[in-house]
A and B are shown apart, each in its own frame.
Chain A
Amino acid sequence: MKAMTRQTFIAGLALAGLTLTAGAGFAQNAPKIGAAAPAFSVVDADGKPQKLSDFAGKTVILEWTNHDCPYVRKHYNSATMQNLQKDMTKDGVVWLSVISSPPGEQGYADGPQAKNLTKTRDAAPSNVLLDPKGAMGRAYHAQTTPHMYIINPQGTLVYAGAIDDKPSASASSLNGAKSYVRQAMTELKAGKPISEAATKSYGCAIKLAPTT
């Protein structure tokens, strides 16, 4: 018994030592929960420039989308996404759907196509942002479609991750799924800390134009 305790203790010391030496690594700049959300400057489906600073004082929800991705289709075919958009914008939240696919890739849409998608799907975003060069996608480290972000009225990123807790393309997975976005918005509204502020997004890989 004593011997085991001692061994474990030594292992613990070694571990503590390692912690101090674990150093040299890779600096990365993924947006941080609790820090200022990355700025963006893109155009909307009407060609009008849109900047994050335009929405200061309002809660902003970003939804990365690709209308042909099976995971996105799961949420639109069931009207789950449209209902979420309607519930959120009704409360004065700004909902921005972001299309980062470049021309020639799945999910790409130009202005008229994007507007048509909104109309035919009965979607209700406040606006659709076009990011065919992928700059905004890279700034936010958007990885999948869908990928969701919530920015509070102070411009702080308060949520990043999945739309819900069921990483599946099957429509049946919507039953009993917990919406991380609804949960975060409820907590945000109540002035409570967000209990699950960073989750692993799921879906189709985001398609970004190569950097030049």
Chain B
Amino acid sequence: MGDRSANRFLRQGLLALALLTPAAGFAAESPAVTSPRLSATLVSSRDTVQPGERFQVALKQKITKGWHTYWANPGDSGEATKIDWTLPEGYAAGEIQWPAPKAIPFPPLVNFGFEGTVLLPVEITVPESAKPGETLTLKANATWLVCEKICIPEEGLFTLDLPIGPAAVVDEQAQQRIEAVRAALPQPAQFKARLTGEGDRLALALPGIGKAATDLRFFPLSDTLIDHAAPQALAAEGEGASLQLTRSSAFKITRPELSGVVTYREGSIPRALTLVADVEPSLVTAATEAAPSGTAVVRTPAPPPESDLTLWAALAFAFAGGLILNLMPCVLPVLFIKALGFAQLAQANRAEVREQGLLFLCGVLATFLVLASIVIGLGALGTSVGWGFQLQSPPVVIALAVIMALIGFNLLGAFEVGSSVQGVGHGLASSGGRMGAFMTGALAVIVATPCTAPFMGAAMGYALTQPPALALCVFLALALGFAAPVVMLSFAPGWLRLLPKPGRWMVILKQAFAFPMFATAIWLVWVASVQAGPMGVLAALVAVLAAGFLVWLLGLSRGAGGRTRVATSILALLVAIGAGTFVVQSAVPSDGPSEARAGEVEAWSPERVAALQAQGRPVFVNFTAAWCITCLANERVSLSRQEVKDAFASLKVAYLKADWTNRDKVIAQALAEHGRAGVPLYLFYPASKGGQAEILPQLLTTDMLITAAERAAGREVKTAASR
């Protein structure tokens, strides 16, 4: 095959393009783009589309015998078919829904692709605002590589005019063909696969595929995972199957999960499943550790921008974040009253004050260490959790609400706490014991967990991408920052003399501080309502009631005789067991992701971002959670301001919300990709396809939002004068 014949092929490809004539009238299939190797059309399942509906179209490739086109991962050579859409405003096209590929051997290589006739379905979303009577023009610029032994890149520009009507008109034939293909698409596996490895060998455990399955083959989406052509030996693995794979020589896994398709037969029935596999953590970081030489080091791809922090900067951020945590409304009362306790003590015994300050520090450090070990430990095991993760569990939220309410009651003087429930507030105002000071530290950290202070996000995100030892250092810096004000006061109680003499004002102040605690409790009950619905609210309030009743009972029994004591203890135990059971049973997370709560806000998904960008719209993504107070503050103070809404509207910014109130793997992964371990995270994607997001600070201002919107849109707000 000489130079000239290749040129001829290319020219034929171009000729095929030229043959495209404008569609005459309305048809559910575009004119064909034809070459001797392949004939392609765009097919629609609708003759008439309806506003607000989603429908399927498909790129149909009729491939000449002996030739093939490629799957999402083409295998050892080749290139996947791509479609670029040009759609009217408001319309969106999804990704190609890939049918299960075939392994096409070309010894010693193998390709993944399609032979014969293949339909690649794509979902089109019609906006509600589409006007019946007008015409929708779908334009798809598709490129594909078609190969036999030799490969020819081809492309086609497909145009399909579809009328918009009050009701959809289905093209029965096209609908049937596309739906038949979609029915045969790989189905999500109902089990979690696991990828483990040693040396050059990898093992993919498929616990949900029975021993009767034959002809198993795994097609990874990533082309840097396995040696595509190596045999995939089948081994039994407990109840299920396991495939023995060989590492790619360009082996690289960048995230703890990987996806792909597994095809097999059950008897004579072909099956195809899409898999999401957990990857053994050591595989993710160790790229080609098989390489013995020090001259070649393979790095994981460039770290996300936020993680470019140096260790020192991360430590400084963590310390500052810890300091600022002291000012959070739920923490401030606890600490302020501790400080007042010092003031009373100070006159008597400076050494004791110092000792208490250090014990408080120990309490803070110990509690932070426990939290950090959980976060880091789970991260190392491949579970994505982040800061504030514990608030994704309704029972934890309810427990925090109870603690807040009890502290509130205590501050109001509704009960005094004896030695039995020491730490749940008693040590706050009085001198307390040593245990009391330690517990105050622990309590302060626990009440602080709902809050993410500014600077903390970047530091936490950095911490979780580092080896455990460094991550622990960051957590310790946060703890030191958090404990610093109280410890400093304990060493320099002289500052306390600036306060008026202890007296009645302290009692009043103490009572006043009850109200921020109640407010925090109310907010936590609201979080429970978002997570677990009306039953969550009931459970939370019952828990508060039971806790209040219990401390009252315990208070009564303190002064009473032995028999009364026994009786009240039994009663208390019964109440605790009853209420506890009820709370745990009722506080079940509601099914499905929580919906975006604001009106014009759409739910976030990575596909939606890509689709909107492809339409030329800038995209703002708000990663938030009901339990994240910084998030809620930003929404109040800046995001919901009219200037921002106007600017977003005039720049056609799409506002997407990713709600992390309940656990969500995809969101956790997106956070990790941007170097964060928790919410809030604000991203602004430019209006160009595939454009990278700009990360906004964790405290938003209206000006910041508007200028970021302008940058993303590549122009200024037209109504700038109104600012």
Contact = CB atoms under 8 A, between A and B. Distances in A.
B77 interface: yes
B150 A68 contact: yes
A202 B150 CA distance: 14
Q: Size range of the interface on A?
A: 35 or more
B282 A152 contact: no
B115 interface: no
A132 to B, nearest CB: 15
Interface centre among B77, B150, B282 (most CB of A within 10 A): B77
Interface string B214-248: 00000000011001001101010000000011101
B600 interface: no
B190 to A, nearest CB: 17
Contacts of B382: 12, 15
Contacts of A210: 107
Contacts of B231: 26
Contacts of A206: 77, 109
A1 B245 CA distance: 36
Interface string A179-199: 000000000000001111111
Contacts of B287: 198
Interface stretch (A28-36, A44-52, A53-61, A86-94): A28-36
Contacts of A15: 194, 196, 278, 280, 381-382
B296 interface: yes
B200 A205 contact: no
B295 interface: yes
B2 interface: yes
B297 A12 contact: no
B151 A70 contact: yes
B282 A19 contact: yes
A62 interface: no
Given A12-B381, A18-B194, A30 B151 contact: no
Contact of B246 (A8, A12, A28, A193): A28
A142 B296 CA distance: 19
A141 to B, nearest CB: 7
Contact of A199 (B106, B149, B250): B250
Contact of B230 (A5, A28, A144): A28
A32 B250 CA distance: 10
B69 interface: no
Contacts of A125: none
Interface in A6-28: 8-9, 11-12, 15, 18-19, 22-28
B198 interface: yes
A15 B279 CA distance: 9
Most interface-central of A22, A69, A141 (chain B CB within 10 A): A22
B153 A170 contact: yes
Contact of A8 (B78, B296, B378): B378
B230 A156 contact: no
Interface string A60-79: 00000001111101000000
Interface string B273-311: 000001010100001101111111111000000000000
A23 B294 CA distance: 26
Contact of B201 (A12, A25, A144, A204): A25
Point out which of A4, A105, A207 has the most chain B C-beta atoms below 10 A from its C-beta. A4
Contact of B198 (A22, A27, A71, A156): A22
A189 to B, nearest CB: 13
Contacts of A23: 198, 201
A141 B152 CA distance: 23
B145 A143 contact: no
B280 A19 contact: yes
B76 interface: yes
B457 interface: no
B414 interface: no
A35 B145 CA distance: 35
A18 B1 CA distance: 50
A105 B149 contact: yes
A169 interface: yes
B435 interface: no
A70 B152 contact: yes
A106 B149 contact: yes
A19 B107 CA distance: 31
Given A205-B76, A210-B107, A196 B299 contact: yes
30 contacts: A1-B390, A1-B396, A5-B374, A5-B378, A9-B377, A18-B196, A18-B205, A19-B282, A22-B201, A23-B201, A30-B227, A32-B290, A34-B294, A35-B292, A68-B2, A68-B3, A68-B5, A68-B6, A70-B152, A71-B151, A106-B149, A144-B77, A168-B79, A193-B294, A198-B250, A199-B250, A201-B250, A204-B150, A206-B77, A210-B107
Interface of B: 1-3, 5-6, 76-79, 106-109, 111, 143, 145, 147, 149-153, 194, 196-198, 200-203, 205, 223-224, 227, 230-231, 233, 235, 244-246, 248-252, 278, 280, 282, 287-288, 290-299, 374, 377-378, 380-383, 390, 393, 395-396
Interface of A: 1, 4-5, 8-9, 11-12, 15, 18-19, 22-28, 30-35, 67-71, 73, 105-107, 138, 141, 143-144, 152, 156, 158-161, 167-170, 193-208, 210
Interface pairs A-B: 4 shortest CB-CB: A34-B293, A25-B201, A34-B291, A12-B381
